[in-house]
Structure 1
Amino acid sequence: MPAVAATQALFAPLKVGDITVPNRIQIAPMTRNRSDKTVPSDLMAEYYAQRARGGAGLIVSDGVLITRQGTEFEAAPGIWNAEQVAGWKKVTDAIHTNGSFAYAQLWHLGRVSHPDAPQQKLAGVPVYAPSAISARGGKFRFLPGQPGYVTPTVLEDPTIIIEQFKQAAINAKEAGFDGVELHGANGYLISQFMDSNSNKRTDKWGGSIENRTRFALEVLKALVSVFGNNVAIKLSPAGGYNDMGMPLEETLETFRYLLTEISKLPLAYIVLVRYSPYLDAEYDGKKRATIHDILESYRSYITNPNTKLYLNADLQGDEAAKLIEEGKIDGGSFGKPALTHPDFAKRLKYGKPLDNVLNEALMLIGAGDDPAKWDEGFTDYPEAEYDASEI
């Protein structure tokens, strides 16, 4: 049976880098937080296998830490050692065996880490950022007193981190990923370099738009040197989350320049995160985000015909299909609905309701919870019932 009319456009194949994915549905990266002391677990492999069986065209991993960092999520996975690579190989094998493709989202938190977190202590280095400016907000629930963010140490030589991103890409290739996505959104290190409020440097990595975007572009070039056409980036121009956000005109100029330069690289795709209230934090009595129309503002600046565009944040299946039909996007990137429905893509295809209720309390498991129960709110969501005549 063909896809229902409202979502039919989502089910055309799409060339993404060197692979052709069977449909336009991307499972978005989220911090699902079920690793075993930074090593991807067998439970994670089952989670991703479920969503591959459920028909997703492209699956992007949890945010993957490229080096030890003191995150708010004690069970976030990494990719800096052989044990982690072996764990991710189980994940990619599970995804491929069940008919989908896998990208690893490479992640460095920068200033939104904490020096008292166990992993940061093991790393033996400070919390690094472009400038010694702390992010407002944040809460490290597993640390006594639930502290917020600290003033970071200036990253004197950003090329050190660029090399860590490159090594993470090498490790991701060894782990069997089809490509890598750079986490350039939501106030983490890449964003911190681009935002003039968090980057006050006076060297070649700060000041002008060209300098503030240099770090992102150099990281992308390093990733391309490993993965060729199979590199992507996720961007959130509206800001808000983790104390990000510039005035509108500066935001437009920064991201339009960045996308113009990115279009000179052989990237597989770009994910643009549109404004979402969920990602808009309040500081000093006002919201932080710079609200504007993301597609209208930036779509025309993605000029490489081989670089596809996915849209993310509060996206509905029929809405994504309509935007594809109109030529405004190439695919939809879905987070919470795909977390809550292992057969998310299949439900969209056959018109099944998205009626599983998100377990907010268990969406992100923190340190101290019982790993024996980590399947709850993770791999225990039911699939819909399908009659043989429907499929």
Structure 2
Amino acid sequence: MTDTLFEPLTVGAVTVPNRVFMAPLTRNRARAEDDAPYDIHVEYYRQRAGAGLIITEATQITPEGKGYAWTPGIYSDAQIEGWGAVTDAVHAAGGRIALQLWHVGRISHTSLQPDGQKPVAPSAIAADAKTFDGEGFVATSEPRALETDEIPRLVEDFRRAARNAIEAGFDLVEVHAANGYLIDQFLRDGANQRTDAYGGSVENRVRLLREVLAAVTEEIGADRVGVRLSPFSNANAISDSDPMATFTAAVDVVAEAGLAYLHMVEGQTGGSRELDGGNSIDALRKRFPGVYVANNGYDRDLAIETVEAGRADAIAFGVPFIANPDLPTRLERNAPMNAADKDTFYGGGREGYTDYPTLAESA
């Protein structure tokens, strides 16, 4: 009998061959001159086409949305063309692929911004966080608060990025509203101290999420859109006085939008799955009627058990996919895993990127 983890699943407009999803993984290898993916990305993603769904590395929707050196974009012709070669290769190998749409907000540095400008954020509050500027890890720059009349432009940036993603051949897009980046900054009262329609009450703080999802779903269809949230993570120095109330409202917005899937980081990003008293992933998950993708610290046994029990429809794996391009096969066969080389996670070329062997190659 096949474990449900390895069976097909319908996710909005697409049917995927298994429920082992590849989580978004920033690898800092875009072409330096234009932030476009190129031939090494084609090979990297093609190797991982056995995933039920590949969710790409976070991809900035505008130059202003960039927060790290050598991360790809989806706003220029060269970037659309580069991603088109990736999606062609993944589809030719039988895979399905979603593009993660990203605006980092305050998690940036003036050296990465157009004309050296300040990064933008809901409020002019610096994050106690670091970013990678191409030389090393540096403290993020103090941001400026977005003006109220700038927000429609920001929403249109997400809309255009979704349209560009479909033009580039992606099956789905995922709106990045997690891990302390721009939409998450609007959601949380630790970063959002606005006094206009986008700040203060929970209803106001979820407004940007609602408007972005409305624009993106109107542009490409709700059945091609997912979203990522990290309700209880403090990644990138983000905080909230009542995350359960905030994310109950946020998940309700996602449910109302009728999205293809909800993808949640359960606990601390890349860390503990333990939650403080009163906080509950399960309670949030039950508010969303669509496909639920769980993420954070899953191994084979926990993934099989969670899907079998109906607590998630699919599991997104991060680091294991870096070192194991054929991860679903290895999980299904309970085969040994390659170890990931952390020294090659960020930046560089093919080493630690496209040179990890499959089971067949190891044999």
Per the normalisation by structure 2, the TM-score is: 0.93
Distance in 1, Cα, partners of 2:237 & 2:109: 16
| Secondary structure of the structure 2 residue equivalent to 1:61 | strand
Q: 1:33 to 1:59 in 2, by over 3 A?
A: same
Distance in 2, Cα, partners of 1:292 & 1:33: 37
Q: Which moved more, 1:226-235 or 1:268-277?
A: 268-277
Q: 1:75 to 1:162 in 2, by over 3 A?
A: same
- 1:199-231 alpha-carbon deviations (Å, 9 max, x no partner): 001111010000001101110111101221110
> How far has the Cα of 1:245 moved from its partner?
2.0
1:358 aligned residue (320, 335, 340): 340
> How far has the Cα of 1:114 moved from its partner?
1.0
1:163 aligned residue (153, 156, 159): 156
| Secondary structure of the structure 1 residue equivalent to 2:236 | coil
Q: 8 Å contact 1:238–1:294 — kept in the other structure?
A: no
Matched, 1:338 2:333: no
Q: Which residue of 2 aligns with 1:318?
A: 301
Q: 8 Å contact 1:92–1:175 — kept in the other structure?
A: yes
| Secondary structure of the structure 2 residue equivalent to 1:381 | coil
> How far has the Cα of 1:293 moved from its partner?
5.6
Give identity over the alignment, percent. Answer: 38
Q: 1:292 to 1:25 in 2, by over 3 A?
A: farther
Distance in 1, Cα, partners of 2:163 & 2:276: 36
Q: How does 1:1-391 map to 2 (within 5 A)?
A: 3=2, 8-37=3-32, 38-52=35-49, 55-69=50-64, 71=66, 73-117=68-112, 120-122=113-115, 125-140=117-132, 142=134, 147-156=138-147, 157-228=150-221, 229-247=223-241, 250-276=242-268, 278=270, 294-302=280-288, 304=289, 307-354=290-337, 356-365=338-347, 374-385=349-360
Counterpart code for 2:320:
P
CA-atom RMSD in angstroms? 2.1
| Secondary structure of the structure 1 residue equivalent to 2:139 | coil
| Secondary structure of the structure 2 residue equivalent to 1:385 | helix
Q: 8 Å contact 1:274–1:293 — kept in the other structure?
A: no
Q: 1:211 to 1:297 in 2, by over 3 A?
A: same
Runs (4+) of structure 1 exceeding 4 A deviation are 289-294
Counterpart code for 1:301:
R
> How far has the Cα of 1:149 moved from its partner?
1.6
Counterpart code for 2:322:
L
Q: 8 Å contact 1:166–1:222 — kept in the other structure?
A: yes
Distance in 2, Cα, partners of 1:387 & 1:73: 34
Q: 8 Å contact 2:65–2:102 — kept in the other structure?
A: no
Distance in 1, Cα, partners of 2:156 & 2:117: 16
- 1:21-48 alpha-carbon deviations (Å, 9 max, x no partner): 1111110111011111311111001000
Larger RCO, structure (CA 8 Å, separation 6 or more): 1
Per the normalisation by structure 1, the TM-score is: 0.86
Q: 1:264 to 1:141 in 2, by over 3 A?
A: closer
| Secondary structure of the structure 2 residue equivalent to 1:263 | helix
Distance in 1, Cα, partners of 2:283 & 2:118: 37
Q: 1:107 to 1:314 in 2, by over 3 A?
A: same
